[in-house]
Structure 1
Amino acid sequence: MGGTVLPDHERWEYCVIHVNEDTSQQPSATAASEKLGGSMSPDFIERQFPDQYGRKPSPHPAEQLGRFLNKMGSKGWMLTNITNLGPLQMYIFRRRKLN
């Protein structure tokens, strides 16, 4: 790394983000009812435990990723690479260095 300082228009800054893949499934009131041998109906379970069983499904992962990339792009970041570091998936962004 020499001592030459680049002009502002040639300077870059980088942002590296680890993206988690959520492979868990949302709780199912029907499955819970079946585990209990039908002693409680799925409707009853959903009403009694709305925080666990009343949630709407998350958007498709592709939609979530699109929102994330659009948010980064609106801040001036450009995706330059996706790479794996062991089991971790890393998204590498760059933008012109802001002074």
Structure 2
Amino acid sequence: MSYVVVARYRTQEGEENTVLALLATMAAASREEPGNLAYRVHQDTEDPRAILLYEEYVGEADFTAHRATPHFQEIVLGKVLPLLDSRDLLRCAPRPEVRA
């Protein structure tokens, strides 16, 4: 059972390309983490300032470890967050009683 995080970002006007470039670097580094199963960056087709991240980890502890990495601290906290108007996180665990 994996642990999923969905982050919704709204960039400041004109900062979407800068944020996407930073997230490309972030995604590459995050995919190398031992507990990371997926790190995907999506951009809204109608509103380029709306960005969605889909992150999947083996477990919640792996996500916690991810947030402590130097690349998260430097890129997300240090560079991306100051370029956002808003940020929402949805942390999800699978529901075993509901199967596909």
Give me the TM-score of the superposition, normalised by structure 2: 0.33
Q: Which has the larger radius of gyration?
A: 1
Which of the pair has the greater relative contact order for Cα pairs under 8 Å at 6+ separation? 2
Q: Considering fraction of residues, name the structure with more strand.
A: 2
